[in-house]
Structure 1
Amino acid sequence: MNETCEHIAEQTIPQEDTRPKRMTSALILLSFCVAFLMTGFGIIVPVYPQRLQALGLGAETLALMEAGFGLGMFLFSTPMGTLADRIGRRPIVLLSLSGFIVTNIALAFVNVPALFILIRFVEGALVAGLFPVASAIVGDSVTPEQQGRWLGILTTAQAAGTALGPGVGGLLYQAWGFSVPFLFSAGLALVASLLALFMLPETLPAHVREKARLRKTEKQSGAKSARGDMLGLIWLFAGLFVIDFGMAFTYPFALPQYPFFFEQTLHYTAAEYGAIISVFGLAMGFFPMLLGGLSARLPRKLLIIVGIVLSAAMNVGMLFLHQYPLLIASAVLTGAGVALIMPALGTVYLSETNDENRSQAMGLRGSVISLAILIAPLSQAAVAHWITPQITFAISLAIALVVTVTACFVLKNQKASAPQASQV
């Protein structure tokens, strides 16, 4: 009985006494860390092609580098999330940021193609834990009513960093050459690491970490339990994984066709195409913060389904709405749709988890998304010679339809069980 009372006290006292001020500051700090890291990602994007070209390398090496990064993310997102449920969230955040520092310093000085690919794989593996753990920290720290808002803020931080980085990277490259953008990117990650080291608290309760350590001593039974836990999570979230996979697959599959379709079929300039992509990026950055809180006021199922429908707007525009203002509007609607989906879907995941499996569940989700992003462009490359851009856009719309139908069926049960699970 005493142990039960202590267990309850450990769970309830932090929520009531320490969360409001301390955790708000911690989540703001976490958002800055994500923004810094994603700015660092963006900074080096325009430098890669120039660096490879100077070394006599081409698109094949660049494709292998990006595939290596995606493979690292896919393979290690779940293990990193699982580890965060055992040793805590904070060590994984620090590991991800430190790994980004080291790999960018290495990329600044390496000139061997095979090492480029290897380093990008290692970078993907080390960074894989940051985003699942960031979502888990939200689940640890705030009430279900506030989770959508904070997930929206994290999404905004991610999008803002991604949008800002390439411009900064291009300026740094033009002014100081190849190495400086990588070193500057590492410097941003260093700032984020120092902030996390001194200001980010551990949100995984001590009794959960102690329980994980005790279970680790029972290696055989622990291994069986771990496998069972993971299979249980995969089964629980199978429908949500279909939604995430479809949403993550759609645009990487269609994106390679966009610039050619704009130029050769719609006869728009590269600048006009770039403006539409920029509008989409701005919408992705602005709307999550604005709309993330809706998941506390409106049914999450409704938000997700409406978001899926809106997110298909750009491909609808490609097929039917070829006037430039309508294409701009479709980009805005697509960004708004993603902004509705991501926080609301994230809260569904969090509501079905507890302190012992929250980060692992978000890691599994990260692996599903990484897999979709990895194979989508490869799928387009495999079929591009046999299908037209219009067929590509139609396939993307068909995927959106399948995802919508899946959401209609899956989210009925998810909505009903969410309040109960959130109390686990």
Structure 2
Amino acid sequence: MNSPKNHTHMGKIMQATRVSTSGTDPRRARIVIVLLAICMAMQMTSYGMIFPLFARKIGDFGDSVAVLATSVMAYSLAGVIAAPFMGTLADRFGRRPLILGSFAVFTAAFTGYYLAATSLVFIVIRGLAGALTAGLGPATMGLVADIAPEDERARWIGVIGGGTSAGFIIGPVVGGLLYDKWGYGPPFLASIGMALLTLLITFFATPETHTREKRRRESLTQKRAARLAPETGTATSTSLSAGVSFMASLPHPLLAFGTLLFINLNMIFAWFFIDPQLPFYVFDDLGWSTAQFGAAISFYGWATLIGSLTLSQSSDRFGRKPILIIGLILHSAQYVGLMLTNIYWVIIAAFIIAGLGEALVNPALSAAYLGITPEEHRSRAMGIKGAVGSLGSLLAPALVVVIVGTVPPQSVFLISAALILSTALLVFIALRLPGRTDAARDLTWEASQERVMAARSVLHNVAVSAATARKLKSAA
């Protein structure tokens, strides 16, 4: 601010040279995000310990690919239904309750997987876990968007993604080694213990970033906007206003939002299309041990972690679209490698390349969603994103159940590779995101309207004061 100037006829005037905005201290924001990333790493480590064992456990029940695919479908169907509602809850009641609740459910679900005595019980538990943990992704992305600067958003989303990837570095290897030596008990008990520890750390380390005051302010803003909207008093206008309100809560432009959803759908579909087939293929056809399979997943996790920490800010610097295209092309390597070769280390190399691709795609994709979403509806938008992802993880195993036994594994890998590469082509042709200049222009317009209202108020007060002063002088 400039030093005050004295004007005898108007009093003391301060000239504003900058605008100070409220928000989380940058250092505090970094600490919160890093601690949450560590908690995500621990959570995914606990899951990674038992992930390679799902196929083994279902095999011991006397079932195979179709049942494993059905369990994935149960998890995904529950997520499709629950994710948008969970995202809305995170916007309405805060990020922290959804994050803590999800970690608590994971702890209970891992215990259920260990104690399940039949495939049916296993499937039911996966379905419940899918519904009750659907809020973790929307709440986490909402938290990052609340406190991270917009021009560093992809970077910090990448840090969270790196934490998730770190779980697949240690978990599958440790779980595979423990199973090969001692059976189910040690890896499941270690997984349950780590999940419980993660819940406790999260309870003390994760604050509420979407505070009650902020939620109340957003609610008042929406109510004021509703009052300013034209009122005709008819049922038709009421329903129309509700429809307009819902449309206004969606990210804009809608074509870009739809394209981003399609990218997310295809990414998830491609992986879950091979997911039920992959463990049986590597165990039965390639002869891998559980530890080897865990190591392959670990290499993928290492690549994604390193890429998330070093490359996630690429889309902040070079734009979302080109990074999405490059990342999708690299991500297709895992499917191409599985399709073309059975050499272990060549497949590992393909997994590493694919992990780097995912490290580019995920931060750019999430940042693109958040960049076109109204602030008060961020978790809802991420909930819709999660629901579409769950839809992909539902449709893919459903298709696997239909074609299992009739289509060879190499054809399954080919379909996933073609889907990812065609998605990269779609991004090149169709994706149009508003540039930073457009966003700046919108912000300037909003700020100028506020300044006009403030100026009118000030001038009105000055005029009233002057008129009062004249009356008092005349009376004297």
Report the TM-score, using the length of structure 1 for normalisation: 0.81
- The answer to whether residue 180 in structure 2 is matched with residue 160 in structure 1 is no
Q: CA deviation at 1:410?
A: 3.7
Paired amino acid for 1:13: S
Task: Return the letter of the residue paired with 1:248.
Answer: I
TM-superposed deviation, 1:417: 7.4
Do the aligned partners of 2:69 and 2:276 also contact (CA within 8 Å) in 1? Answer: no
Aligned partner of 2:431 in structure 1 is: 411
Shift of 1:48: 4.3
The aligned runs of 1:10-159 (5 Å cut-off) are 12-14=21-23, 18-48=24-54, 56=61, 58-59=63-64, 62-109=68-115, 111=117, 114-159=120-165
1:309 aligns with 2:339: no
CA positional deviation for 1:109: 4.4
* TM-fit CA distance, 1:91: 1.1
Where 2:22 maps in the other structure, the secondary structure is: helix
Once residues 90 and 72 of structure 2 are traced to their aligned partners in structure 1, the CA distance between those partners, rounded to angstroms, is 26
Deviation at 1:172, TM superposition (A): 5.6
Change (3 A) 1:244 1:180: same
Judge conservation of contact 2:170–2:298 (CA < 8 Å) in 1: no
How far apart, in 2, do the equivalents of 1:196 and 1:315 lie? 35
In structure 1, what residue type is equivalent to 2:288? A
Alpha-carbon distance in structure 2 between the residues aligned to 1:96 and 1:48: 21
Counterparts of 1:161 and 1:421 in 2: how far apart (Å)? Answer: 41
Instruction: Work out the CA distance in 2 between the residues paired with 1:172 and 1:273.
Output: 13
1:351 matched to 2:371? The reply is yes
| Alpha-carbon distance change, 421 to 280 in structure 1, aligned in 2, over 3 angstroms | farther
Distance 2:183 2:292 in 1: 27
Query: Quick one: distance in 2 between partners of 1:77 and 1:375?
Result: 16
- The change in CA–CA distance for 1:268 and 1:68 in structure 2 (over 3 A counts) is closer
Q: Identify the residue that residue 6 of structure 1 maps to in structure 2.
A: none
Unpaired segments of 5 or more residues in structure 2? 1-18, 227-237, 447-476
Q: Which residue in 2 is equivalent to 1:201?
A: 207
State the distance in 2 between where 1:323 and 1:193 align.
Answer: 40
In the TM superposition, what whole-angstrom CA distance separates every residue of 1:326-366 from its partner, at most 9, and x where no partner exists?
A: 54433322121111111111111111123311011111111
Q: 1:141 to 1:108 in 2, by over 3 A?
A: same
The letter of the residue matching 2:63 is G
The Cα of 1:129 is off from its aligned counterpart by 0.9
Matched with 1:4 is none
Query: Alignment partner of 1:357: what SS?
Result: helix
Structure 2 contact 103–133 (Cα < 8 Å) conserved: yes
Which residue identity is paired with 1:332?
Answer: I
Shift of residue 314, structure 1, vs aligned partner: 3.0
In 1, the alpha carbon distance for the partners of 2:441 and 2:95 equals: 21
How high is the TM-score relative to the length of structure 2?
0.73
Provide, for residues 373-419 of structure 1, a one-character-per-residue CA deviation record: whole Å limited to 9, x for no partner.
22213323323444444443443333223312221234333446774
1:4-26 Cα distance to aligned partner (Å, 9 max, x none) = xxxxxx99212xxx321211111
Q: Distance in 1 between matches of 2:172 and 2:350?
A: 24
Q: State the secondary structure of the residue aligned to 1:237.
A: helix
Q: Secondary structure at the match of 1:13?
A: coil
1:51 Cα deviation from its structure 2 partner: 5.2
- Asked if structure 2 preserves the Cα contact closer than 8 Å seen for 1:315 and 1:397, the reply is yes
Q: 1:319 to 1:46 in 2, by over 3 A?
A: closer
2:5 is matched with none
1:332 and 1:210, CA in 2 relative to 1: closer, same or farther beyond 3 A? same
Higher normalized helix content (fraction of residues): 1
Question: Displacement of 1:164 after TM fit?
Answer: 2.2
Query: Against the structure 1 CA distance between its residues 399 and 227, is the aligned structure 2 distance closer, same or farther, given a 3 Å change threshold?
Result: same
* Structure with bigger gyration radius: 2
Q: How far apart are the structure 2 equivalents of 1:201 and 1:161?
A: 23
Aligned counterparts of 2:352 and 2:182: Cα–Cα separation in 1 = 35
SS in 1 for 2:21: helix
**Residue pair 1:208, 1:355 contacting (<8 A) in 2 also:** no
User: What is the RMSD computed on CA atoms of the aligned residues?
Assistant: 3.7
Q: 1:354 to 1:315 in 2, by over 3 A?
A: same
- Structure 1 CA distance, aligned partners of 2:406 and 2:166? 36
Following the alignment from structure 2 to structure 1, what is the Cα–Cα distance between the partners of residues 31 and 355? Answer: 28
Corresponding residue of 1:270 = 288
- Quick one: percent identity of the two aligned structures? 33
Task: State the distance in 2 between where 1:235 and 1:223 align.
Answer: 21
3-state secondary structure, aligned to 1:297:
helix
Distance 1:122 1:421 in 2: 45
Give the superposition deviation at 1:72.
2.0
Contact map agreement 1:11 1:205 (CA 8 A) in 2: no
1:123 and 1:148 map into 2 onto residues whose CA distance is 28
> How many positions carry a matched residue from both structures?
408
Return closer, same or farther for 1:415/1:369 CA change in 2, 3 Å cut-off: farther
Unaligned runs of 5+ in 1: 1-9
1:291 maps to what in 2? 311
The 1:330/1:184 distance shift into structure 2, 3 A limit, reads closer
Decide whether the 8 Å contact of 1:96 with 1:129 is kept in 2: yes
- In terms of mean alpha carbon deviation, does 268-277 or 281-290 score higher? 268-277
Deviation of the 1:139 alpha carbon = 0.9
Partner of 1:201: helix, strand, or coil? coil
Contact 1:352 1:418 in 2 (8 A): no
Residues 283-339 of structure 1, C-alpha deviations (whole Å, 9 max, x = no match)? 223222221122222222111111111112233344556766654433322121111
Residues 36 and 205 in structure 2, CA contact (< 8 A), matched pair in contact too:
no
